[in-house]
Structure 1
Amino acid sequence: MLKRFFPILDWLPKYQKRDLAGDFSAGITVGIMLIPQGMAYALIAGLPPIYGLYAALVPNLVYVFTGSSRKLAVGPVALDSLIVASSLAAMKLGSLQAYIGMAILLALFVGLIQMVMGFMKLGFLSNFLSRPVVSGFTVAAAFVIGISQLKHFFGLDIGTTNSLKTLRAIFNQLGETNFYDLSIGVAAILVILGLKKLHRKLPAAMVVVVLGIIGIYFFMVNDTDVHIVGPVPKGLPGFLLPELNSGLLIKAFPTAMALAFIAFAEAMTIAKSIEEKSQQYHTDPNQELRALGASNIIGSLFQSFPVNAGLSRTAVNVNEGAKTGLASFISVIVVGLTLLFLTPFFYYLPKSVLGAIILVAVYGLIDVNYPRQLWKQQRDEFYLFLVTFLTTLFVGISQGIIFGVLFSLLLLVYRISRPHIALLGKIRGLDYFKNIDRFPDDIEQHDEILLLRFDAQLFFANVRYFENAVSKEVAKKGKAVKYVILNAEPVNYIDNSALNELQKIVRNLREKGIVFKIAGAIGPIRDILQKSDLLEVIGKENVYVRTAEAYEDCLKKMERTALQEKVSWQHR
């Protein structure tokens, strides 16, 4: 039981020395990444940079003990930070301390939701975030994050978090651009890109941080010319209970729910992709919910804002050879040592350097190939992507997720209410029944037989569509049609509304001298037919195991054995 809730008890006793080198290398590398990334993502959230290091410490440590994925790197991430910023900005909190307190309280709230979901085994709910929704949200969020960092790039004081207002304000204030900030930001981007091109594993973000600090410390005579981070508290975060406020909690609930779902969906996507490549362990969705919940809850008690699994850090973790959670533990030590001894040096760090790190990071989130692929292959899902993208970009982060999920559910309802219906025909010389639109020159023609296949369950939302399709095709064939055969192989459920409508359809057809037959119904469907008396309305003699039997019986009355009849309409 303990191993279920603390997976470290499973892998730690089996730890092998040969894994130490990979874990150590990955831990050091990811720890160095976490320092500039954590500070940069705190800046996105509208928090002092030190809180990014706090978020990289305790939550990561908690996940080492509770996470079922051994290679996931937990900490502050860009998307979650952006959602925090947009949510708290809308609350119009009166002071920086109130803003910080609410961000920490939000982490507690998110953690509690994830923990409850984990114990209720609601991990499957992440499946409602389809890939077009996640992709549309991610691409839009990348733009929003990038736009939010332009003020640091240009050295402008812009209070709004709205993307359009930010762009308008930057355009109006271009004459006030701080060219020191702009030059440093552009140089930082070029250095990061150059180092990445030179060698992917170089800690480019940490290099520009060090260069930025050295440059300001030694070469800037007047530090007011450049917007710098300023005083950064030294030492580990202290234990502090978040201040509860019922009014603010009610306001934060939609954001907390969105964060809980998005964080989990993103974490599981990353964790599953890693698991499939390694095939060394199993990732438990419900335990991941509990682990992320515990990381956020305990992290909030040590001044952390909401955290999640980081895609880039996890990728580095894997590439550097991480085998177990010991790599993340080493990353925690790196961050802890930084908090204890190195924070005074960050006083001189230019904010435009952090902005450059963020801009390079979010650029990797913009995937133009996926929407192009959707446009070519599935237009409806492209529109789903587009709705999510535009809503997130121009309306808001939380609204983008909500609209995306609602639109995807509407799309699902539309699909199941108008499923595919195929008109079938027998291939000449073969016992195959195929769509006549696909094999128009190979189908036997018999005007007295109408053969349909309904590719979905029959229920209240689509039974009228089925009825209209039958009526339409019967009208097309005219008075020649004598038999309607339903190939029911794809039908896996019939609800009460559909049963009643089917009885009406069968009786209406009979009044026109047309016999309704069913072929290929699976056992559960035969059970439903029998319980509803529909089997008696259709007639047991009109129920067949195979489409070929129903078809041949229409052309020439076939005698069936007792066993054939039993198999045709047998039920529980």
Structure 2
Amino acid sequence: MKKLSSYLPILDWGRSYTRATATDDLVAAVIVTIMLIPQSLAYALLAGLPPEIGLYASILPLVAYAIFGTSRALAVGPVAVVSLMTASAVGNIAAQGTPEYLGAAIALAVLSGLMLVAMGLLRLGFLANLLSHPVISGFITASGLIIAASQIKHLAGIQASGHTLVEIASALVSRIGETNPYTLAVGLPATAFLFWVRGGLKPLLLRAGLGPRTADIIAKSGPVAAVAATTAAAEIFDLGEKGVKLVGAIPSSLPVPALPGFDPALWSQLAGPALLISAIGFVESVSVAQTLAAKKRQRIVPDQELIGLGAANLASGLSGGYPVTGGFARSVVNFDAGAATPAAGAFTAVGIAMATLFLTPLIANLPQATLAATIIVAVLSLVDFKALARVHAYSKSDFTAMAGTIAVTLGFGVETGVVTGVAVSLALYLYRNSRPHMAIVGIVPGTEHFRNVNRHKVITGDKVLSVRVDESLFFANSRFLEDRLTELVAERPALKHVVLMCPAVNEIDASALESLEEINRRLLDAGVGFHLSEVKGPVMDRLQRTDFLKHLNGEVFLTQYEAFAALDPDTAHIAEARKPRKATRADFWIGPEI
């Protein structure tokens, strides 16, 4: 039963489900439903799909995640970045508005779902750690700018297309003279109102005496008010006849589950984009889920999250939707509204289904400019240029990666930006680990502690070179270790022993083992002993299964102090003779590590 619960988390939290919990979930579901209806319509528009597809992608996927997901607060559904990536991927295959375009979007959801489930079953959740946060932040910032720019055409009522910021800007400038003033009269006020609602309405309501939770709920309902007001205006003033594009008739029916057609050629074309969407969607989703779970001391299981998101995407594809993932804004609202279990998502799905059946006739006259305003306000909250300054101040290499990802995404499109971000993340990882931090260390007088000679006043001696390596040893950095030790030994003609201090070495792979053997041979030929100290148990277990220790021309010491005392007792005695005293600032030289 326990093993089954690990794959079906609903069996875990479902056993303790109470009426009070259900009440909390229902309240949260009502609030998220109100927020999700206009978002679903808007994000479907962004993906180049009919508006009802956004509603379809907000029903069964939520139920599937409630069964298989581990987050108590994550709200799954269409999101801006994945919608943009869907439009980019499917737009290379078919024209918007055609059955082929919709079929490709559905196939993309199914393929993404299969990939996510497979990754979860193979326990590949750790792969999310290979994407650095600066790179993801840069990609989301650039995507937000592209999405916002792509929606300006709907605010102005003009035709303009493009996959990059340069293409979109060029198209907008060339068509600016065709702006429809009636569309602009709807879009600009709607955008200004939504920006004001996001930042200014809640403080106003609090000053009026409303409670924080009530004020927050009303503020989050701003898009619904914009939808109602502009829909009424379009009907009263007959804006459709004046060139304002409206959503039009939306089918008042629920999606009928069906298997998408299997076209090997189509699926092979979508495989790459599906993998990128899966990776970005999972990273975004699990980051939000972990942040919210930490606030309630709950636990997220990344491998099971892959299965939960995979099930949600499969459900979306099988019910005529497109790729989905966990949304940041919706999840925060769900959390703040008091969602206690994933059942809140299932209740939200019921709310969206009811809206699809009974409310869609009311929004036939909804201007597309209002949906564009909703998207612009939502995505610009993701743009974080201040992060560039923060990252630049902390790490120049991370800043380069972040800025590069932004530039490539803006200049060449989201798919190229994602690939570049992944490549840069892996390159940074390998570069940093290929040059492990190594420090020459000496003994602190009056103690048994060893510290970096460039940061502390320590005693070293001429006979023993003590080197601390602060990374695990593997194929990417083993040659650097060889070269660095060779260089250090060559600089010290009186040297008799080298001690490699390994307190931070958690693993030594086969390539690094060969490097250690080569170092041992070189030092043996030079008449210098090679020793290890403070080797961790699991690392020692693996070394003992090889011939390395048999050929080692030195010893393995339990502590660095034992090695120093045994190999250079005269210098060790000098260190012991110095009485310990309280450290002062003069004992430290603040400078860069070596």
Does the pair score TM above 0.5? yes
Instruction: Describe the shift of the 1:12–1:544 C-alpha distance in structure 2 as closer, same or farther (beyond 3 A).
Output: closer
Between the aligned partners of 2:237 and 2:331, the Cα distance in structure 1 is 36
Cα deviation, residue 116, structure 1 = 2.2
Is 1:248 aligned with 2:266?
Answer: yes
2:287 corresponds in structure 1 to 269
Alpha carbons of structure 1 residues 16 and 428: separation in structure 2 relative to 1, 3 Å? same
Note if contact 2:138-2:402 (Cα within 8 Å) is conserved in structure 1.
yes
Match of 2:48? 46
For the residues of structure 1 that align with 2:77 and 2:111, how far apart are their CA atoms? 17
Residue type of the partner of 1:65? Answer: I
Most deviating of 407-416 and 3-12: 3-12
How far 1:493 sits from its partner (Å)?
3.4
> Is 1:216–1:223's contact at 8 Å kept on the other side of the alignment?
no
Out of 217, 221, 224, the position equivalent to 1:201 is 217
- 8 Å CA contact 2:49–2:96 kept in 1: the answer is no
Residues 232/507 of structure 1: CA separation in 2 closer, same or farther (3 Å cut): closer
1:438 is matched with which residue? 455
- Structure 1 distance, partners of 2:552, 2:342, is 62
Instruction: Indicate yes or no: 2:329 matched with 1:337.
Output: no
CA apart distance, 1:204: 0.5
Which SS does the other structure have where 1:425 is aligned?
Answer: strand
Structure 1 counterpart of 2:568: 555
CA drift at 1:171: 0.9
Aligned pair partner of 1:124 in 123, 126, 138: 126
Task: Please list the CA deviations of residues 146-177 of structure 1 after superposition, one character each: whole Å capped at 9, or x if unmatched.
Answer: 11111101111124333311110111121211
Return the letter of the residue paired with 1:519: S
Q: State the AA in 2 paired with 1:157.
A: Q
Q: What corresponds to 1:8 in structure 2? A: 10
CA pair 53-525 structure 1, distance change in 2 beyond 3 A:
closer
Q: Could you report, residue by residue, the CA deviation over 1:62-109 in whole angstroms, capped at 9, with x for unpaired residues? A: 323332223221111111111100001112448621111111121111
Moved more, 260-269 or 219-228: 219-228
Q: Which amino acid aligns with 1:366?
A: V
Instruction: Note the alpha carbon deviations across 1:102-129, whole angstroms, 9 max, x for none.
Output: 1112111111222222333332322222
Equivalent position of 1:538 in the other structure: 552
Contact 1:451 1:485 in 2 (8 A): yes
Greater mean deviation of Cα atoms: 263-272 or 119-128: 119-128
Letter in 1 for 2:522: N
**Which letter does structure 2 place at the counterpart of 1:373?**
R
For residues 247-305 of structure 1, the C-alpha deviation after alignment (integer angstroms, 9 at most, x for no partner) is 111100001111222222222222222221123x5433333222222222232222111
After superposition, the C-alpha distances for 1:495-515 in whole angstroms (9 at most, x for unaligned) are: 444444434433433444433
What amino acid sits opposite 1:470 in the alignment?
A: L
Structure 1 residues 492 and 308, CA, compared in 2 at 3 Å: closer, same or farther?
closer
Per the normalisation by structure 2, the TM-score is: 0.87
In the alignment, what sits opposite 2:376?
359
**2:33·2:352 contact (CA, 8 Å) conserved in 1?**
yes
Structure 2 match to 1:565:
none
Equivalent-residue separation in structure 2 for 1:531 and 1:183 (angstroms): 76
Question: What one-letter code is carried by the residue in structure 1 that aligns with 2:75?
Answer: A
CA displacement at 1:229 relative to structure 2: 1.5
1:183 to 179, 182, 185: 185
Partner of 1:225: 243
Among 258, 263, 285, the alignment partner of 2:276 is 258
Q: Could you say if the C-alpha distance between residues 111 and 462 of structure 1 is closer, same or farther in structure 2, counting changes exceeding 3 Å?
A: closer
Would the alpha carbon gap of residues 72 and 555 (structure 1) be closer, same or farther in structure 2, given more than 3 Å must change? Answer: closer
Q: Distance in 2 between matches of 1:500 and 1:162?
A: 48
Residues 419-498 of structure 1 mapped to structure 2, 5 A cutoff: 419-439=436-456, 442-444=457-459, 446-477=461-492, 479-498=493-512
Between the aligned residues of both structures, percent identity stands at 36
Q: What amino acid does structure 1 have at the position aligned with 2:295? A: K
Deviates more, 1:397-406 or 1:245-254: 397-406
**Alpha-carbon distance, 1:363 to partner:** 1.1
**For the Cα contact (< 8 Å) 2:120–2:304, is it kept in 1?**
yes
Distance 1:308 1:547 in 2: 50
Inter-partner Cα distance in structure 1 for 2:10 and 2:474: 47
Structure 2: runs of 5+ lacking an equivalent = 203-215, 572-594
Q: Work out the CA distance in 1 between the residues paired with 2:259 and 2:479.
A: 58
Alignment match, 2:109: 107
SS in 2 for 1:480: coil
Question: 1:520 matched to which residue of 2?
Answer: 534
Alpha-carbon contact 2:182-2:239 (below 8 Å) kept: no
Q: Is the 8 A contact 1:449 1:483 kept in 2?
A: yes
- The one-letter code matched in structure 2 to 1:256 is A
Counterpart secondary structure, 1:490: coil
Whole-angstrom distance in 2 between the partners of 1:183 and 1:173: 18
Distance 1:290 1:445 in 2: 55
Match of 1:451, SS state, is strand
What letter is aligned with 2:217?
K
Within 2, Cα distance between the matches of 1:67 and 1:322? Answer: 14
2:335 equivalent among 307, 318, 342: 318
Change over 3 Å in CA distance of 1:494–1:306 after alignment to 2 = closer
Residue of structure 2 in register with 1:140 after alignment: 142
1:84 alignment partner, SS class: helix
Shift of residue 446, structure 1, vs aligned partner: 2.1
Residue aligned with 2:16, SS: coil
User: Where does residue 163 of structure 1 map in the other structure?
Assistant: 165
Amino acid aligned to 2:445: R
Amino acid at match of 1:355: A
State the partner residue of 2:386: 369
Contact 1:499 1:532 in 2 (8 A): no
Aligned Cα root-mean-square deviation (Å): 2.4
Letter in 2 for 1:468: D
How far apart, in 2, do the equivalents of 1:464 and 1:221 lie? 71
Contact 1:509 1:515 in 2 (8 A): yes
Are the equivalent residues in 1 in contact too, given 2:443–2:449 (CA < 8 A)? yes
Q: What is the CA–CA distance in structure 1 between the aligned matches of 2:101 and 2:12, rounded to whole Å?
A: 40
In the alignment, which residue of structure 1 is the partner of 2:211?
none
Greater mean alpha carbon deviation, residues 7-16 or residues 360-369: 7-16
Give a deviation string over 1:178-206, Cα, whole Å, max 9, x none.
Answer: 22222221101221222332224320011
Return 234-243 or 408-417, whichever deviates more: 234-243
Equivalent-residue separation in structure 2 for 1:293 and 1:79 (angstroms): 17
> How far has the Cα of 1:43 moved from its partner?
0.6
Structure 1 unaligned segments of length 5 or more: list them.
559-572
